[in-house]
């Protein structure tokens, strides 16, 4: 654990961590302001905390922008400074912003307007950013826990609702259980290599003879991450937690938590364990397959839209795992790009669900969506686009994302994964379309409750999601370029040899880009 020595001074270190710091500070400010504002009375928090948290997120995003121009941190840095992290931060901050926007109306409706909510949300985001950006297993563990503990609380946040408490408990108990596996894995890897730093671990592993400790450590890490990304068979908590949690939290959890964990998994596997793929690649492959197959099938029989979406987001973890299994620039880009789109559509979809479900989240049954398309065309239209994107239909971002994943799978010589991906997508069409058909093909009987009216924040958030999805579907160029060229410090041994960057400008940060003869020729052509 010797990290700071190679950073050019404390100021530089602070600059490199600016987004996290900004966000932490805003969380604390929110907490303080809330305390002072509310004083003794136990009423709802004022609106200032909302806007403070939004501003905090925006400031963090601005800080994140400054990271782009910073050069790469040294290989020993605890927190990486690479395109991967920057993009991950954007995804997380985006999820946070959307989570906040969608939470406003919800919290007011449910009487949960308490400042801690915002603070917890922001702190969870800090945890996520650390998780996805850290280059040291211990720091990753800390980020993981910071995120998790905050989210446990958020899950159980609705004290009036037993479902919320139950979800919190299940999530917490299994989460803690999984954390133990994770840290055990860290311990074993530490024992095997003598370091917890990813890059150094990689170099140790590539020179030494990895043994049982490494293998066990890798396996345990996979289990820990498997829980966080809700990979089958470690997913069982997810549908329950997603369903029980307050709906905006569900969206936030399904996107932010998954994004951070998935990206951290990617970094750990391909940076530190890249040279020992034999220990984990088969496992990841199977995890991906199971995670695509099982939740999609189970979602077929769900009649509750929220729970159906919960299963759907578990299934999306499977799609993302395809990107992880593919690895390389293509897999990395695919995972990043898909996460961007996935965040937009999942958060958006859950948000629409809570509007339809009404107070107490009571009416999220499929039947409650009957005729929504004609009663609330905008709301239904938005949900329709989210669903189409989740299904992976052009011209939405979901389609481009799926194509990206397919290319990654094919490019890494895993056509089987690609085929399973599309076949499970086909299964998914059925349940997504079922919602669409309820919304448009059936008429609402008189006793279907009217959905809530929506506030400005919600509408803004929804427009943001829809616009984002369509932009990602119609002009995905910039996003594809960014994702495709996002470097990953210390990534080596790309299993993918198709380069997307042949036409994309920007630095390649791959430590050892394998030079393919044809690729060299292609570069020469340009």
Partner 1 sequence: MYHPILPALVLALPLAGAIINGVGAFLWREDHRVARWVGPLAVGASFVVVAINFFAMKASGTTAASVVSLWTWIAAGGLHVGVDLQFDRLSMVMMLIVTGVSTLIHVYSIGYMRGDPGFNRFFAYLNLFVFFMLVLVTAASFPLMFVGWEGVGLCSYLLIGFWYENEAYSNAGKKAFIVNRIGDFGFLVAMFIIFGIFGSLDFSQVLPAATGHLRYGDVWATLITLFLFLACMGKSAQIPLYVWLPDAMAGPTPVSALIHAATMVTAGVYLVARTSVLFALAPISQAVVATVGAGTALFAATIATQQWDIKKVLAYSTISQLGYMFLAVGVGAFTAGIFHLMTHAFFKALLFLGAGAVIHSVEHAWHEAGRHGGDPNDMRNHGDLRRWMPVTWITMWSATLAISGVFPFAGFFSKDEVIWKSGVLGYPLLWGVALVAAFLTAGYMARLMALTFHGGENRTGEEARGHLHGAPLAMAVPLVVLGVLSLVGGWIQIPEALPLPHVSALEGWLDPVFEPAHHVMAMHGGAAATAAPLGGGELTWGLISTVVALAVVVWIFLAVVRRRYRPAAESPEPTGLSLVLYRKWYVDELYDRLIVRPLMALWRGCWKIVDDGLIDGTVNGLASGARAVGWVGSQLQSGRLGAYVLLFMVGVLVILGTVAF
Partner 2 sequence: MTSTLIRVALLVSAALFAIGVTGVLLRRNAIVVFLCVELMLNAVNLSLVAFSRLLGIDGQIIVFFVMAVAAAEAAVGLAIIIAVFRHYEDVDVDRFDLLKW
Partner 3 sequence: MYHSHWILTLLLAIPLAGAFACLGVSGERAGRVALWTTVLEAALALPLFWTFRIGAGSFQNTVSVPWIGAWGIGYRVGIDGISLLMVLLTVVIMPLAVAGSFRYIERHRPAYYASMLVLTTGMLGVFVALDMFLFYVFWELMLVPMYFIIGIWGGERRLYSAIKFFLYTTVGSLLMLVAIAGLVYLHWRSSGTVTFAYAELLNTPISRPVQFWLFAAFALAFAIKVPMFPLHTWLPDAHTEAPTAGSVVLAGILLKMGTYGFLRFGIPLFPRAATSHAVVGLFVTLAVIGILYAAWVAAVQPDAKKLVAYTSVAHLGFVMLGVFGFTAEGLQGGILQMVNHGISTGALFLLIGMLYERRHTRNIADFGGIAKVMPVFAVCLVVVALSSIGLPGTNGFVGEFLILVGTFRTHPLATVIAATGVIFAACYMLPMVQRVILNPLDRQENRELQDLGGRERAILVPLLALILLIGVYPKPFLDRLAPAVDRVLQRVDMLPSVPTARAERALPPGVRLGREAFTANLSGVVDAPPAPAPGPERGS
Does 233 bind partner 1 (CB under 8 A)? Our answer is yes
Q: What's phi and psi for 304, nearest 5 deg?
A: -100, 125
- Per-residue contact track with partner 1, 148 to 187, x per CB under 8 A? ---------------------xx--xx--xx--x------
Residue span binding partner 3 (CB under 8 A) among the ranges 188-196, 271-279, 297-305, 395-403: 395-403
Reduced DSSP (H G I as helix, E B as strand, rest coil) percent helix, strand, coil of the chain, to 5: 75, 0, 25
Question: What is the DSSP-derived secondary structure letter of residue 502?
Answer: T
Contact 288, 233 (CB under 8 A): no
Site for partner 1 in 252-311 (CB under 8 A): 279-280, 282-283, 294, 297-302
Applying CB under 8 A, does 1 fall inside the site for partner 2?
Answer: yes
Q: How far apart are CA 487 and CA 86, in angstroms?
A: 10
127 binds partner 2 (CB under 8 A): no
Instruction: With H, G, I as helix, E, B as strand and everything else as coil, classify residue 79.
Output: strand
**Closest CB 404 distance from partner 2, rounded Å:** 33
Contact 367, 426 (CB under 8 A): no
Q: Verify binding: residue 406, partner 3, rule CB under 8 A.
A: yes
Point out which span in 173-181, 226-234, 260-268, 340-348 binds partner 2 (CB under 8 A): 173-181
> What's the closest the beta carbon of residue 432 comes to partner 1, in angstroms?
14
CB of 303 to partner 1, least distance (A): 10
407 binds partner 3 (CB under 8 A): yes
Alpha-carbon distance of 130 to 415, in angstroms, equals: 34
Of residues 86 and 299, the one with the C-beta less far from partner 1: 299
Q: Which stretch binds partner 3 (CB under 8 A): 11-19, 38-46, 213-221, 407-415?
A: 407-415
Q: What is the C-alpha separation between 313 and 467, in angstroms, rounded?
A: 21
- Please name the residues in contact with 68: beta carbons below 8 A apart, sequence gap of 6 or more: 83, 86
- Binding mask 187-226 vs partner 2 (x if CB under 8 A, - otherwise)? xx-xx--xxx------------------------------
Residue 94 in contact with residue 25, Cβ under 8 Å? no
Among residues 237, 248, 240, 472, which one has the least CA distance to residue 349?
248
Q: Which string of DSSP letters, residue by residue, matches 355-392?
A: HHHTGGG---BGGGGTTHHHHSHHHHHHHHHHHHHHHT
Beta bridge partners of residue 136, listed in sequence order = 197
| Displacement of CA 234 from its chain's centroid (Å) | 17
Taking CB under 8 A as the binding criterion, the range among 81-89, 233-241, 396-404, 451-459 that sits at the site for partner 1 is: 233-241
- Rule CB under 8 A: which of 294-333 touch partner 2? 301-302, 307
Residue 513 binds to partner 3 (criterion: CB under 8 A): no
Chain positions contacting partner 2, by CB under 8 A: 1, 138, 141-142, 145, 149, 152-153, 156, 159, 162-163, 165-170, 172-173, 176-177, 179-181, 183-184, 186-188, 190-191, 194-196, 239-240, 243-244, 301-302, 307
């Amino acid at each position: 654990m010797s990290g700071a020595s190679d950073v050019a001074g404390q100021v530089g270190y602070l600059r490199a961590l600016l987004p996290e710091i900004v966000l932490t500070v805003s969380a604390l400010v929110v907490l303080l302001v809330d305390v002072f504002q509310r004083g003794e009375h136990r009423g709802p928090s004022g609106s200032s905390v909302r806007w403070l948290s939004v501003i905090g997120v925006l400031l963090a995003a601005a800080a994140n922008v400054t990271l782009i121009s910073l050069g790469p941190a040294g290989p020993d840095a605890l927190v990486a400074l690479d395109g991967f992290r920057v993009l991950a931060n954007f995804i997380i901050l985006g999820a946070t912003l959307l989570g906040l926007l969608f939470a406003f109306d919800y919290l007011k409706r449910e009487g949960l307007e308490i400042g801690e909510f915002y603070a917890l949300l922001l702190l969870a985001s800090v945890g996520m950013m650390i998780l996805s950006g850290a280059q040291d297993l211990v720091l990753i563990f800390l980020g993981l826990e910071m995120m998790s503990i905050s989210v446990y609380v958020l899950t159980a946040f609705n004290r009036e609702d037993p479902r919320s408490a139950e979800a919190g408990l299940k999530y917490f108990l299994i989460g803690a259980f999984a954390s133990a596996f994770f840290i055990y894995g860290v311990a074993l890897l530490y024992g095997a290599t003598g370091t917890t730093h990813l890059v150094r671990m990689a170099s140790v592993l590539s020179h030494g003879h990895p043994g049982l400790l490494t293998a066990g450590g890798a396996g345990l890490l996979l289990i820990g991450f498997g829980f966080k990304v809700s990979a089958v068979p470690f997913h069982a908590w997810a549908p329950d937690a997603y369903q029980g949690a307050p709906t905006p939290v569900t969206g936030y959890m399904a996107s932010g938590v998954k994004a951070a964990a998935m990206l951290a998994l990617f970094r750990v596997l391909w940076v530190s364990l890249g040279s020992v793929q034999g220990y984990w690649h088969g496992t990841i492959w199977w995890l991906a397959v199971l995670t695509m197959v099982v939740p999609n099938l189970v979602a077929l029989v769900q009649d509750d839209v929220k729970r159906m979406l919960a299963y759907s987001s578990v299934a999306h973890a499977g799609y993302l795992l395809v990107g992880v299994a593919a690895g390389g620039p293509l897999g990395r880009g695919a995972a990043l790009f898909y996460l961007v789109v996935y965040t937009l559509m999942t958060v958006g979809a859950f948000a629409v669900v809570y509007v339809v479900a009404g107070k107490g989240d009571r009416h999220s049954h499929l039947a409650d969506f009957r005729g929504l398309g004609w009663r609330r065309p905008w709301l239904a239209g938005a949900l329709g686009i989210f669903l189409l994107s989740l299904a992976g239909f052009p011209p939405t971002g979901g389609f481009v994302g799926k194509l990206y994943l397919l290319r990654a799978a094919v490019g890494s010589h895993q056509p089987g994964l690609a085929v399973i991906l599309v076949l499970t997508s086909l299964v998914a069409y059925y349940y997504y379309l079922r919602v669409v058909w309820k919304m448009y093909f059936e008429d609402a009987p008189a006793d279907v409750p009217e959905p809530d009216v929506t506030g400005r924040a919600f509408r803004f958030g929804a427009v943001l999601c829809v616009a984002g999805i369509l932009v990602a579907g119609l002009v995905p160029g910039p996003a594809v370029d960014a994702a495709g060229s996002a470097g990953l410090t210390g990534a080596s041994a790309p299993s993918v040899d198709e380069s997307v960057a042949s036409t994309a400008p920007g630095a390649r940060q791959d430590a050892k880009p394998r030079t393919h003869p044809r690729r060299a020729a292609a570069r020469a052509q340009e």
